[in-house]
């Protein structure tokens, strides 16, 4: 199975909550492809991202080793982009979070299809 990790942008906690609720509602409607799971980070550090991703993997019965490799690979491959997100986050008000999403390829396809229908 292919997993994808995306960095979505900066948000306040309330907007992240709405995003999570919308994802949960979509999950209830389509159990075969529940959609990506979102998390908010401040500060944005590898340990926190990895712990969140592994918790997500356990809750979805995904391959934990594959998720761990994904997070490590993305962190290394996108080091410059991650550094930019970290710098931007420091300039934002204290309550703002960096939002990341993780899911299978089908989860992300479904999310995009829903966005196009909206």
Average pLDDT per block of 10 residues along the chain, 118 residues long: 95 92 66 81 97 96 97 97 96 96 92 81
How far apart, in whole angstroms, are the C-alpha atoms of residue 37 and residue 102?
Answer: 5
Give residue 35's pLDDT. Answer: 86
Tokens 């962190």 locate to 75
Number of domains making up the chain: 1
Q: Cβ(65)–Cβ(50) under 8 Å?
A: no
Structural domain span for residue 77: 3-117
Give residue 29's pLDDT. Answer: 58
pTM of the model as a whole: 0.87
Give residue 22's pLDDT. Answer: 79
User: In terms of C-beta density within 10 A (0-12 exposed, 13-18 middle, 19 or more buried), how is residue 83 classed?
Assistant: exposed
Tokens 């309330």 locate to 14
Nearest alpha carbon to residue 102 among 14, 20, 39: 39
């Amino acid at each position: 199975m292919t997993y994808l990790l995306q960095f979505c942008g900066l948000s306040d906690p309330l907007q992240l909550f709405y995003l999570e609720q919308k994802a949960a509602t979509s999950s209830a409607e389509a159990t075969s492809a529940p959609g990506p799971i979102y998390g908010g980070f401040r500060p944005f550090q590898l340990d926190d991202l990895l712990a969140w991703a592994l918790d997500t993997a356990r809750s979805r019965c995904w391959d934990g080793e594959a998720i761990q490799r994904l997070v490590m690979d993305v962190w290394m491959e996108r080091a410059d982009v991650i550094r930019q997100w970290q710098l931007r986050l420091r300039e934002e008000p204290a309550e703002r979070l960096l939002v990341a999403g993780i899911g299978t390829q089908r989860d992300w396809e479904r999310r995009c299809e829903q966005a196009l229908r909206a």
